[in-house]
A and B are shown apart, each in its own frame.
Chain A
Amino acid sequence: MKIGVCLKQVPATDTRIRVNPTGTGILTDDVKWEINPYDEYALEEAIRLKQAGKGTEVVIFTLGEASSEARIRDGLARGADRAVRLDDAAFAGSDALGRARILAAAIQQEGIGLVLTGRQSIDTDTGTVPGALAELLGWRQASWVDKLVIDGESFTAHRAAGSGTREVVTGRLPAVVTCDKGLNEPRYATLPGIMAAKKKAIVVKNADALGLAAGSVGAAAALVVEEAMALPPARPAGRILSGDAATVAAELVRLLREEAKVI
């Protein structure tokens, strides 16, 4: 079974976000990019499954421009076998459904039997692509998974079900599994891995190569439009309480009750 991993580059978590003048996105000139942290769990799990004999090949799928190749190379250096990068001017402005259509087309072409993704990407934070992808492929799905077992033609996963409850779910492959923190400890690339990655293939595919009809993806097909991006309003200035521990504690609880009215 070939295992697909959806990998996206996102601004590093310590990035201070600045909005562009038109409110349509962020300024990226001094952004440091990294692999979406949740995608790292997906990649690590795919590599471990292959090492355990549950997969024959790990293929990275990245919807992104040429600058994302550094992140793809990192993924190849950690142990993925090859990559498909999806890039076309016609993809610009796609909403989550459009992005899922692009990925679904690429995944179908490669004969993948299991797709692992992060539970969400930490830039747009929609978490919508994996579910739409599973639906478009007609596959099963398990979300926010922190334990995964592949047994023949079926999978068993532990997923977050809300209120701290976790559910053990089972279904048949093929499936899309979205990965949460706790699934594994992602490895770093080693020097031999980095050297090996230089010879691994990154194939670039456009809309034509994917057989995507004009108007099925990109801004024209987008049903969700985002605008007026802005920084959140500044919080009103706070107050520092002083005194010994007993005094500040009593004053704090009084303020929480009488001024803030939250207890």
Chain B
Amino acid sequence: MPTNILVFCETEGGKPRKTAFELLGKAAQLAAATGGSVSAVVLGETDTAALGAAGASTVYVASGSAFGTYVAGAWVKALQAAVTASGANVVLGAAAAVAREAFPRLSARLGAGLAVECTDLRVEGGSIVGRRPVYAGKALVDVKVTSPVALFTVRPNSFPIGAAPGGSASVVALDVGLTDADLDVVVTETLKPATQAVDLTEADRIVSGGRSLKSKESFDAVVRPLAAAAHATPGASRAAVDAGYAGHGDQVGQTGKVVNPSLYIALGISGAIQHLAGMRTSRVIVAVNKDADAPIFQYATYGIVGDLFEVAPAIEKELVKALA
């Protein structure tokens, strides 16, 4: 059966997010393998031509004041309208803030199965099968959706962005038919982070510190400058967060953020199971630790046994040179 795929493309500052292109690229492959089509849905204003060039044949757009910032009731209704208008039997979204809330609601509203946080999608017997981590990545499982409409969310950075196939999309305005009741939970204020670093869950490079940093002051003096030099997002182990060296939003691990970067530099992190669970899919792992027996070294692509207070500034210096 052809899979007609609808990709929910999130935007930021009026531009499609990186995840939109990751998903459109994968959707094109999956649709080609089954003789299906790819369309996109955008809630708010964006560059629809870029989505067409990335492979969407139709872009469904909902516009109006309800689609500036996320409003659950309105957005779920608009996604429902897009599913109906497109006749899609597969809907993809990025496993990030909006879809994490909206897709479960959409699932219940449509009576459609939802497979979340997939890190891979493939075609098997004409249907799409997802692969996803469970137990924070301590195990992986195949996930199949048997309902006529199948919903999937995909982790950021799971798929490379290939060359855009080119092409142009027809743009269709969605008639969502909003009422006041759909403006159910509204944003009254947006609190921007103090730093402009990419969020951990989307970051391509991460530098994390553990309890060996010994204090918030040395965390700020060692981890953050190295992260800045690497153009990376700073992160922390649970031990470092619980000790107050970093904020809870910085925690990488089973009870923090599960990350998937190309480069993960772990400073003074021993590698507790719950931390490893959150970062083990990183493509390259660098570990700096005094203890040669620390479990993190079993996962490290490159290990350095040594004093992080000496090694980290030296790496920082080299990175500044290399990335100048």
Contact = CB atoms under 8 A, between A and B. Distances in A.
Given A14-B274, A227-B141, A253-B319, A163 B199 contact: yes
Interface in A192-246: 222-232, 235-236, 238-242, 245-246
A181 interface: yes
B140 A263 contact: no
Contacts of A240: 297, 303-305
Contact of A229 (B134, B195, B248, B284): B134
B152 to A, nearest CB: 10
Contact of B314 (A144, A180, A249): A249
Given A170-B186, A224-B144, A252 B104 contact: no
Contacts of A168: 187-191
Contacts of B305: 240, 242
A182 B248 contact: yes
Interface string B94-120: 001110111111011101111111000
B22 interface: no
A16 B273 contact: yes
A262 B53 CA distance: 27
B139 A128 contact: no
Given A169-B188, A170-B186, A249-B314, A164 B199 contact: yes
B280 interface: yes
Contacts of B285: 235, 238
Contacts of B144: 224-227
Given A169-B185, A181-B251, A231 B138 contact: yes
Contacts, number: 279
B298 to A, nearest CB: 8
Interface SS of chain B: mixed
Nearest to B117: A125
Contacts of A38: 255
B191 to A, nearest CB: 4
Contact of B142 (A17, A122, A227, A250): A227
A97 B199 contact: no
Contacts of B195: 164
Interface string B308-323: 0011011101110111
B255 A181 contact: yes
B314 A161 contact: no
Contact of A224 (B105, B140, B143, B286): B143
A238 B76 CA distance: 45
A253 B247 CA distance: 28
10 contacts: A141-B185, A162-B202, A164-B192, A169-B185, A170-B188, A224-B143, A230-B141, A235-B285, A248-B304, A248-B306
Interface of A: 11, 13-17, 19, 26, 37-38, 95-97, 100, 122-132, 134-136, 140-144, 146, 156, 158-172, 175, 180-182, 222-232, 235-236, 238-242, 245-246, 248-250, 252-253, 255-257, 260, 262-263
Interface of B: 12, 69-70, 72-73, 76, 96-98, 100-105, 107-109, 111-117, 133-147, 184-193, 195, 197-199, 201-202, 205, 230, 247-249, 251, 253-256, 262-263, 272-274, 277, 280-281, 283-286, 297-307, 310-311, 313-315, 317-319, 321-323
